[in-house]
């Protein structure tokens, strides 16, 4: 008898595809579905079963994992999956969603018969490919055990924030982390733009901060993407980071908080998105500072 845990991965974009590959490497049975089949089909050669619909993917699965763009996409896809769901199946929801989306998704889980595990992740394409994500999760003890092989396969460690996925404790921590990601990405772009404008060699700056308190691996990584012009394929795309930036600003406003830096960072991302850079890495926010994207384009 085959006792392998079967995981249905719904959404095989940048993050979902990498997570599916690590589930396969960990010896789990994996079924994948993606709206654009061109992104799920290549996973067949790694051993995944490619499903033609969300309902087909979740049929017979022990765990459903969603890694879609936003809460609206998650709701749409889980409703499509509903006819195939075996009641009591665990649902690892890793899409980054807003604070208010958490109770709505918990209601949806109840309606469809899924046991929800709130499980957004920190880490981008490379940690996802290496199975080294940080999983931020909330779920009752009884469900945690059932999804442990999945969380262990995709992440380096899991940080539990609570028992109740409807409370959105994991979503809150994830938004806090992403406010730092967005701030640091924008700062990386601005520091390089300023260096360029003042005739300071970027390497001079890096030599100065090398190994000190101002040095940051994330700054190094994003600066390399800008300097080497490697903004595609993205690790964390401008359009996806903009979605998160708005979730952060909405949450801040609701709590009477004014985040001037986050507002400015969002405006910078919007500016480069409107100049055809929405599918590039968030590091492309660099171009919000340069004449190349400030000047009206010819034609
Ligand atoms: P991505 O490559 O753009 O993947 C987005 C996925 O959502 C694709 O599979 C896309 O399908 C699907 N999708 C979008 N709208 C849909 C709809 N209405 N119905 C069905 N499917 C839909 O983005 P990603 O970077 O993997 O991000 C996925 C999630 O992880 C996002 O919530 C993001 O915030 C979060 N996240 C990203 C990172 C990162 O660094 N990249 C890190 C942590 C968390 P198609 O292929 O058909 O368009």
Ranges of each domain in the chain:
6-167, 171-294
Cα gap 33→210, rounded to integer Å: 44
| Cross-strand bridge partners of residue 164 | none
Element (H, E) at 281: none
Ligand 1 midpoint to CA 164 (Å): 25
Nearest one of 141, 66, 71, 156 to 105, comparing CA atoms: 71
Cα gap 282→265, rounded to integer Å: 11
Report residues whose beta carbon is within 6 angstroms of any ligand 1 atom: 11-16, 34-36, 39, 67-70, 73, 76-77, 95-96, 121, 124-125, 235-237, 240, 244
pTM (two decimals): 0.96
Cα angle 262, 267, 270 (rounded to 5 degrees) comes to: 125
Nearest CA residue ID for atom 31, ligand 1: 69
Q: pLDDT tens for residues 150-184? A: 999 999 999 999 999 999 999 999 999 999 999 99
Nearest CA residue ID for atom 46, ligand 1: 36
What value does the mean pLDDT take over residues 179-201? Answer: 98
Ligand 1 midpoint to CA 67 (Å): 6
Is the predicted pLDDT of residue 297 greater than 50, yes or no?
A: no
Q: pLDDT tens for residues 51-95? A: 999 999 999 999 999 999 999 999 999 999 999 999 999 999 999
Ligand 1 midpoint to CA 14 (Å): 7
Question: Which two three-digit tokens encode residue 151?
Answer: 């969380």
Residue with tokens 């990498």, as numbered in its chain: 18
Ligand 1 atom nearest the C-alpha of 120 is 44
Indicate the length of the chain as a whole number. Answer: 299
Ligand 1 midpoint to CA 59 (Å): 22
Taking phi first (over 0 means left), then psi (-120 to 50 degrees means alpha), and beta for anything else, what does residue 216 get? Answer: beta
Ligand 1 midpoint to CA 290 (Å): 29
Note the pLDDT of residue 2: 59
Is the predicted pLDDT of residue 294 greater than 60, yes or no?
A: no
Ligand 1 atom nearest the C-alpha of 122 is 43
User: At 222, is the secondary structure helix, strand, or coil?
Assistant: helix
Nearest one of 171, 185, 175 to 252, comparing CA atoms: 175
Tell me which architecture the domain covering 6-167 has in CATH. 3-Layer(aba) Sandwich (3.40)
Is the domain spanning 171-294 CATH 1.10.1040.10? The answer is yes
Percent of the chain beyond pLDDT 90? Answer: 96
Is the predicted pLDDT of residue 299 greater than 80, yes or no?
A: no
Ligand 1 atom nearest the C-alpha of 16 is 26
């Amino acid at each position: 008898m085959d006792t392998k845990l079967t995981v249905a991965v719904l959404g095989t974009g940048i993050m979902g595809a990498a997570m599916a590959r690590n589930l396969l490497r960990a010896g789990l049975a994996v079924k994948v579905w993606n709206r654009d089949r061109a992104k799920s089909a290549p996973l067949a050669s790694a051993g995944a079963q490619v499903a033609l619909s969300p309902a087909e993917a979740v049929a017979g699965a022990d765990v459903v994992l969603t890694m879609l763009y936003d809460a609206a996409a998650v709701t749409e896809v889980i409703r499509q999956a509903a006819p195939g769901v075996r009641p009591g199946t665990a649902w690892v929801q890793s899409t980054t969603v807003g604070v208010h989306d958490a109770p709505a998704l918990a209601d949806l889980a109840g309606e469809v018969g899924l046991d929800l595990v709130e499980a957004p992740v920190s880490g981008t394409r490379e940690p996802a490919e290496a199975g080294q994500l940080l999983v931020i999760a909330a779920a009752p003890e009884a469900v945690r055990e059932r999804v442990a092989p999945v969380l262990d396969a995709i992440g380096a460690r899991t940080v539990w924030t609570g028992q109740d996925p409807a409370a959105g404790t994991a979503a809150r921590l994830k938004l806090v982390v992403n406010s730092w990601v967005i701030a640091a990405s924008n700062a990386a772009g601005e520091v390089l733009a300023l260096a360029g404008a003042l005739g300071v060699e970027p390497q001079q700056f890096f030599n100065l901060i090398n190994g000190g308190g101002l040095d940051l691996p994330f700054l190094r990584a994003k600066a390399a993407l800008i300097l080497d012009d490697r903004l595609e394929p993205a690790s964390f795309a401008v359009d996806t980071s903009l979605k998160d930036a708005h979730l952060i600003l909405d949450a801040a406003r609701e709590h009477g908080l004014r985040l001037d830096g986050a507002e400015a960072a969002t405006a910078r991302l919007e500016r480069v998105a409107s100049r055809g850079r929405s599918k590039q890495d968030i590091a492309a926010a660099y171009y919000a500072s340069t004449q190349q994207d400030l000047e009206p384009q010819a034609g």
